[in-house]
């Protein structure tokens, strides 16, 4: 008989427990919190013929956007089918997304999902200024491709919220701002807001009655009011040629806005100012305004402090301002004439401003009137002011550096500043609004001092050596002269899946027109080529781009007289739900509506998440036993 004592054999349950170290536990926890929500994401659908009692799948969609906004959770996408929706209450998302799983409200076909607010007229006396699409105290939400019209006040309102993106949307006939982001008084700012590739028309159309409550001031067409860290870019703002109420400037950053950029916007046909930076009653800091095109407004760009606040650290550069009736760029001193400090205005092109007024004061390319005693460091250099009623008007302020600007046309009291150049800047075709420089322009390689931009309005890198010169210095105005340069545009952006899109490449070549071919690339993949015509233009047509964002560039191969070069990236967006993903989402939603309010991917969630959670529990138990 074997008398050797037998060893205790651990049970399988205990043998399976191998405590995890803390770094592995943290990794598992991170995976559980980031991957699991994304896998559980749901696609909801809204259609004009839907029913709010249905689960919100593609085959059984909701009837109202608000119903989807009530149930959408982090990671979900609400697809809004084409049609006109007339809500009877403000559309208000009930939940926030997360950094890894935002909530997205997206038109299935960009511009074809229309939210019409004509049936919903708020009582401003009791409701205040509200938004038809109203994001209040939420975070991580994307609104993409919607069209908002006839709103009782604001079109899209970002109210005391963070990490919100409004993109590829359009608004028309809104009583207040088409798009506005704002903080709340005495509570805090909104933060990290992006307003990209939108079109805002006929905003701020509320009709003030005699003796109206001053709260009915409509703000501006696109407004950033007390927002920390923001980007307003690639938008078009236009068509407010009547002035029924107080407000209606094109794009405005005001109050306690900080760390923002306003760039690559086109603003035109406004009875008020095109682009405004205003400290108003708070302290505004670090706002950069660049690569914008503004025309046919009462005035172009202004910086001011209207009511007791301050402005610090504003940069205005590489903008074209033309054909504005009164003033091109104004550093304003009206109302409270609050303090402005550390202001740089450089390498802008301002043409034909001040010709639409009988005023002998507000009739110039540049007006420097702010003269608060604590102003400091106004730095205005390397701009072109051409054919304005008067080029520059100042008060001779001691804090003003006015240096190395090119002036063409009537002067005011002989004001030129130091190191000025005078005479025709020799634009390519000023009458046709082409303010690129010809090879004979005195503005080429003429820049002095700092700051200087590193990319011009066409996104051409600065500086480029002038003709017959080996040293690059930098040019005056918004455009850098190049021996050849290529720009690219899209005929439709964003574009629905399957829609024809024409990419147009324009190659400029100094004294002569470039010849040869242009290749059109999507990332590193060549889509096709086009041959330059006698105007230096080539096109490429396609309707086969897939859903998503495409980095399109035009590459010019050069000829005997012109060097090869390439355009800046054009971000082309193709929208609409694919049939395969829609069918899959619909199937999942229908089979799991009882557990998710509309579906999802429960199987994948369990497969990936439960083992992680189980591992975490084993680690906790092992730690307790230890």
List, as one string, the DSSP characters of 356-410: S---SSS-EEEEE----TT-EEEEEES-EEES-SEEEE----TTEEEES-EEES-
pLDDT tens for 168-191 read 999 999 999 999 999 998 899 999
pLDDT tens for 444-497 read 999 999 999 999 999 888 998 887 777 889 999 999 988 778 899 999 998 889
Q: Over pLDDT 70: what percentage of the chain?
A: 83
pLDDT tens for 193-203 read 999 999 999 99
- pLDDT at 16 exceeding the cut of 80: no
Q: Residue 625: its pLDDT value, please?
A: 43
Interatomic CA distance for residues 572 and 492, integer angstroms? 9
Q: Residue 613: its pLDDT value, please?
A: 43
Residues across the chain: 626
Which CATH number describes the domain made up of 485-574?
A: 2.60.40.10
Q: Are 205 and 173 in contact (CB under 8 A)?
A: yes
Provide φ and ψ at 83, rounded to 5°: 145, 175
Please report the beta strands in 509-617, taking only residues with DSSP state E, as ranges in sequence order. Answer: 517-522, 525-531, 537-542, 548-556, 565-566, 570-575
Both tokens assigned to 548:
């998503």
Contacts with 306 (C-beta within 8 Å, 6 or more apart), sequence order: 278, 279, 280, 281, 334, 335, 336, 338
Interatomic CA distance for residues 592 and 28, integer angstroms? 27
CA 532 to each of CA 471, 489, 565: distance values in angstroms, whole numbers, following the listed order: 30, 15, 14
Cβ-based neighbour number of residue 231 at 10 Å: 17
Both tokens assigned to 232:
């307003």
Provide φ and ψ at 66, rounded to 5°: -65, -35
- pLDDT at 148 exceeding the cut of 70: yes
Q: Are 288 and 315 in contact (CB under 8 A)?
A: yes
The helix (H) or strand (E) run that includes residue 588 is helix 579-591
Interatomic CA distance for residues 149 and 551, integer angstroms? 31
The helix (H) or strand (E) run that includes residue 156 is strand 154-159
Interatomic CA distance for residues 147 and 83, integer angstroms? 10
Interatomic CA distance for residues 49 and 44, integer angstroms? 15
Residue 521, SS3 per DSSP: strand
| Exposure class string for 29-61: b at 16+ Cβ within 10 A, else e | eeebeebbbbbbbbbbbbbbebeeebbbbbebb
- pLDDT at 165 exceeding the cut of 70: yes
- pLDDT at 616 exceeding the cut of 50: no
Interatomic CA distance for residues 512 and 40, integer angstroms? 59
pLDDT tens for 229-267 read 999 999 999 999 998 888 999 999 999 999 999 999 999
- Domain assignments of the chain as residue spans, ordered by start: 485-574
Helices (H), 394-457: none
Q: Which band of pLDDT confidence, cut at 50, 70 and 90, is reported for residue 127?
A: confident
């Amino acid at each position: 008989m074997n008398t050797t004592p037998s060893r205790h054999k651990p049970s399988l349950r205990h043998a399976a427990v191998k405590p995890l170290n803390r770094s592995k536990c943290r990794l598992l926890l991170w995976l559980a919190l980031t991957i699991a929500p994304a896998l559980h994401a749901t696609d909801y659908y809204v259609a004009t013929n839907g029913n709010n009692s249905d689960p919100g799948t593609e085959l059984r969609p909701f009837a109202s956007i608000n119903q989807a906004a009530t149930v959408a959770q982090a990671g979900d996408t609400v697809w809004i089918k084409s049609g006109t929706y007339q809500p009877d209450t403000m559309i208000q998302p009930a939940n926030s997304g997360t950094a890894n799983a935002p909530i997205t409200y997206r038109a299935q076909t960009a511009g074809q999902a229309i939210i019409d607010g004509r049936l919903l007229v708020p009582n401003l006396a009791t409701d205040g200024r509200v938004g038809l699409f109203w994001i209040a105290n939420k975070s991580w939400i994307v609104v993409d491709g919607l069209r908002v019209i006839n709103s009782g006040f604001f079109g899209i309102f970002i109210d005391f919220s963070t990490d919100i993106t409004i993109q590829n949307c359009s608004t028309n006939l809104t009583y207040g701002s088409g798009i506005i982001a704002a903080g709340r008084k005495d509570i805090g700012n909104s933060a990290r807001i992006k307003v990209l590739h939108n079109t805002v028309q006929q905003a701020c159309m509320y009709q003030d009655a005699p003796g109206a409550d001053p709260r009915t001031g409509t703000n501006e067409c696109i407004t950033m009011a007390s927002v920390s860290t923001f980007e307003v870019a690639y938008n078009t703002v236009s068509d407010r040629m009547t002035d029924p109420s107080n407000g209606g400037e094109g794009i405005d950053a005001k109050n306690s806005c900080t760390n923002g950029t306003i760039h690559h916007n086109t603003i035109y046909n406004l009875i008020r100012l095109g682009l405004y930076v205003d400290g108003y009653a708070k302290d505004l800091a670090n706002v950069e305004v660049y690569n914008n095109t503004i025309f046919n407004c009462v005035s172009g760009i202004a910086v001011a402090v209207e009511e007791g606040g301050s402005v610090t650290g504003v940069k205005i550069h590489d903008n074209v301002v033309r054909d504005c009736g009164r003033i091109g760029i104004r550093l304003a001193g009206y109302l409270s004439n609050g303090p402005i400090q550390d202001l740089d205005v450089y390498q802008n092109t301002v043409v034909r401003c001040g010709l639409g007024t009988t005023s002998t004061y507000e009739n110039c390319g540049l007006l420097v009137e702010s003269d608060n005693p604590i102003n400091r460091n106004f730095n205005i250099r390397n701009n072109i002011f051409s054919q304005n009623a008067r080029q520059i008007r100042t008060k001779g302020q001691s804090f003003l550096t006015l240096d190395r600007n090119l002036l063409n046309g009537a002067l005011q009291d002989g004001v030129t500043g130091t190191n000025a150049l005078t005479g025709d800047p020799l634009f390519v075709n000023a009458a046709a609004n082409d303010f690129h420089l010809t090879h004979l322009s005195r503005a080429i390689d003429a820049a002095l001092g700092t700051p200087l931009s590193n990319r011009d309005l066409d996104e051409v890198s600065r500086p480029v050596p002038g003709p017959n010169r080996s040293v690059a210095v930098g040019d005056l105005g918004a455009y850098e002269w190049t021996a050849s340069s290529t720009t690219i545009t899209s005929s439709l952006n964003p574009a629905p899946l399957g829609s024809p899109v024409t990419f147009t490449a324009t190659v400029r070549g100094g004294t002569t027109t470039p010849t040869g071919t242009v290749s059109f690339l999507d990332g590193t993949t060549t889509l096709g080529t086009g041959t330059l015509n006698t105007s230096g233009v080539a096109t490429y047509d396609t309707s086969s781009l897939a859903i998503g964002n495409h980095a399109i560039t035009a590459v010019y191969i050069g000829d005997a007289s012109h060097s090869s070069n390439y355009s800046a990236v054009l971000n082309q967006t193709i929208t609409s739900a694919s049939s395969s993903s829609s069918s899959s989402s619909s199937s999942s939603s229908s089979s799991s509506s009882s557990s998710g309010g509309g579906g999802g991917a429960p199987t994948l969630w369990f497969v990936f998440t439960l083992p992680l959670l189980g591992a975490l529990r084993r680690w906790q138990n092992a730690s307790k036993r230890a």
